Amino acid sequence: MNNLQKKTSKPMLAETQPQIATLALTNLSLTLTDKTILQHVSLSLAASGITCLIGPSGAGKSSLLRCLNLLQKAWSGQIEIQQQDIRQWPAGEDALRRFIVLIAQKPAVFPVSIAENVIFGLSRKQRKTNQDVRIKTCLQQAALWDEVKYRLDEPAKNLSVGQQQRLCLARALALQPKILLLDEPTASLDPRSKQLIEASLKTLALTMPVLCVTHDLEQAQRLSEKIIFMCDGKVIETADSVTFFQQPLKLESREFLRWSSCDCD
Amino acid sequence: MKILLWFLALPALLLPAFALLYIVYQALPALDWSLFVGTQDTKLHFGANQALWQQISGSLLMMLLACALASPIAMSIALFHQLLAGPRQKLFIHALLQVLQGIPPIVYGLCGLVLLVHLLHWGISLAAGAVILAIIILPLLSSNTIHALERIPDEQTESALALGLTPFQLLIRVWLPNAWSSMLTGLLLSMARALSETAPILFTATVFSGVVWPDSIFSPVTSLQTHIFYLAQEGYNQHAIDVAWASAVVLLGLVLSFSLCAFFLRRFEDH
């Protein structure tokens, strides 16, 4: 692993052209133990760019992300990726989860080295192919390479929380996903880590759709082209970022923006 | 208040120590190397003069077989609990394991005698004893395995699944590396429990003498527990009583070694 930095940074992940994915939800509903979590949610994602999902706690934002990669399966309605129903995903739900990867709010690194964490989700065969280049490229994309390049064999738990979150991003990118789902990726991170993750996301969003749940409205303004506002399990308003923050159409949106601490100008 | 608490706690601390010292003191007359390997004169003898390695190996053999039978079943129960069971099924599994742990071992022994020894014609045998011991330790082993898997942070399981790992890969690559020490602790405690049981194997597996090493799994075995049980009844024979105490020390040593290993492993895990 130590000779990694000597190797060329050949764009390993670009060996196959990114397959642009479009995601469409129709009438998605979720009820868990008699509690309605999502109600008739319909939305679609552009082929690239960042969409931020905002709303008060308990609005169903995280549950929506879990439905999208089938970590939550008890929903009704339809979710389609490239006009393919995800419940009938040809290669099965494990393959779907590599296609549409979810990064959780709390970084969870596995008790192995930093390098092994990056390639953790890959098959045995994939792990053996161009391993060093793959690790380097993913860590670079997650803006972590410079900080860890001399200690790739160290346990990942030695990293700070911000670095662990970026490691989780690198681990997800190693799967070459076509859609990225992020559940409050920068909550409880220091400003520097937040800045680095946001920069990485902006670059990644050039080639794939990124759906990001956030409570940080300033971040939503900085990052996204499109805002989806949810409340009580329903999509209240979908608008481009500038319009939403300057002239929200719905009363609930206006109330939410008024009560949040963010300066929306 | 402090003195009162010390006064109440003292018996609990001192009694086991006194009991242990008393057992060792009683065993001292018979505790020597020849007790374990026999002497030229006693090698062909049975009962109190039998070399103790036969009883030790019988007990250990039965314990290992029981653990080998119970472990995959306990693991399956734990995996079902973690991967497939809903809240109601989880509640049912916990309740069932609690109830099974509360059943007196002699009842299991009786069931083994009727079903395995007589109905299935296995006879008094190593197989019957191992199966009954496996059933006895199964609730404890399952509970410990479930507990070991439950201690794995949910975030790790969710992250592994979100990366597209199959349930089998999740088990091999995330759960086992995280939970092996807790599982091993559970196994060691179950081994200690299997070694402690006497009544069930008296009914189903062991004989006092006449066996050195079982010919097959359908042959009877000797065990430390049975040895102590029969020798203790020979009150007129001081040598037999001394050997019974010595056997008790050996049994205690084995059980304690498994329990202490489990204790230190748990401490290692907590740190």
Q: Is the pLDDT at B223 greater than 50, yes or no? A: yes
Predicted local distance difference test score (pLDDT) of residue A9? 37
Residues of A in contact with B161 (CB under 8 A): 71, 97
Partner residue facing A106 (CB), from B155, B164, B178: B155
Contact partners, residue A194, CB within 8 Å, separation at least 6: A162, A186, A219
Asked if CATH classification 3.40.50.300 holds for the domain at A21-111+178-259, the reply, yes or no, is yes
Asked whether the beta carbons of residue A97 and residue B162 sit closer than 8 angstroms, the reply is yes
Q: Is the pLDDT at B204 greater than 70, yes or no? A: yes
Predicted local distance difference test score (pLDDT) of residue B39? 66
- Residue B28 Cα to chain centre, angstroms: 26
CB environment A226-244: b (16+ within 10 A), e (fewer): bbbbbbebbbbbbbebeeb
Cα-Cα-Cα-Cα dihedral sign, residues A122, A124, A130, A135 = positive
Q: Is B221 helix (H, G, I), strand (E, B) or coil?
A: strand
Predicted local distance difference test score (pLDDT) of residue B99? 95
Asked whether the beta carbons of residue A110 and residue B174 sit closer than 8 angstroms, the reply is yes
Predicted local distance difference test score (pLDDT) of residue B215? 84
Closest residue by Cα to residue B190 from B56, B20, B65, B17: B65
| Best residue in B159, B168, B178 for a mutation probing chain A (most A CBs within 10 Å) | B159
d(CA A100, CA A209): 10
Written as six digits, the tokens of A210 are: 């990124």
Asked whether the beta carbons of residue B165 and residue A121 sit closer than 8 angstroms, the reply is yes
What is the per-residue pLDDT across B103-157, written as a single tens digit (0 to 9) for each?
999 999 999 999 999 999 999 999 999 999 999 999 999 999 999 999 998 889 9
Question: Does any CB of chain B come closer than 8 Å to the CB of residue A118?
Answer: no
Domain ranges (residues) in chain A: 21-111+178-259
Residue A77 region, left (φ>0) first, then alpha (ψ -120 to 50), else beta? left
Q: How many Å from the N-terminal Cα to the C-terminal Cα in chain B?
A: 33
What is the per-residue pLDDT across B11-42, written as a single tens digit (0 to 9) for each?
888 998 999 999 999 888 888 887 777 766 55
**Secondary structure in 3-state letters for chain A:** CCCHHHCCCCCHHHCCCCCCCCEEEEEEEEEECCEEEEEEEEEEECCCEEEEEECCCCCCHHHHHHHHCCCCCCEEEEEEECCEEHHHCCCCHHHHHHHEEEECCCCCCCCCEHHHHHCCCCCHHHHHCCHHHHHHHHHHHCCCHHHHCCCCCCEHHHCCHHHHHHHHHHHHHCCCCCEEEEECCCCCCCHHHHHHHHHHHHHHCCCCEEEEECCCHHHHHHHCCEEEEEECCEEEEEEEHHHHHHCCCCHHHHHHHHHCCCCCC
* Number of A–B residue contacts, CB under 8 Å: 50
**Binning pLDDT at 50, 70 and 90, where does residue B237 land?**
confident
Q: Is B206 helix (H, G, I), strand (E, B) or coil?
A: strand
**Binning pLDDT at 50, 70 and 90, where does residue B59 land?**
very high
Q: Is B215 helix (H, G, I), strand (E, B) or coil?
A: coil
Predicted local distance difference test score (pLDDT) of residue A126? 83
Asked casually if ipTM beats, i.e. exceeds, 0.90, the reply is: no
Residues of B in contact with A103 (CB under 8 A): 162
d(CA A154, CA A116): 10
Please give the residue that has the higher pLDDT: either B97 or A6.
B97
Name the packing angle between helices A131-141 and A191-204 (round to 10°): 110
Contact partners, residue B224, CB within 8 Å, separation at least 6: B52, B55, B56, B58, B59, B195, B247, B250, B251, B254
Strand order in the sheet with A23-32: A35-45, A23-32, A75-81, A84-85
Q: How many CB atoms lie within 10 A of CB A208?
A: 23
Predicted local distance difference test score (pLDDT) of residue B213? 79
pTM of the model: 0.76
Q: Is B93 helix (H, G, I), strand (E, B) or coil?
A: helix
Asked whether the beta carbons of residue B164 and residue A95 sit closer than 8 angstroms, the reply is yes
d(CA A207, CA A201): 10
Closest residue by Cα to residue A185 from A175, B196, A174, A196: A196
Residue numbers of chain A with a pLDDT score lower than 50: 1-19, 262-265
Partner residue facing B163 (CB), from A106, A107, A175: A175
Q: Which amino acid belongs to residue B100?
A: L
Residues of B in contact with A119 (CB under 8 A): none
Partner residue facing A71 (CB), from B158, B166, B173: B158
Domains of chain B: 52-270 (1.10.3720.10)
Predicted local distance difference test score (pLDDT) of residue A262? 47
Name the residue of chain A whose CA is nearest to B155's CA.
A108
Closest residue by Cα to residue A101 from A141, A69, A142: A69
CB environment B127-165: b (16+ within 10 A), e (fewer): bbbbbbbbbbbbbbbbbbbbebbeebeeebbbbbbbbbb
Q: Please, are residues A260 and A217 in contact by the beta-carbon 8 Å criterion? A: yes
Written as six digits, the tokens of A214 are: 């956030």
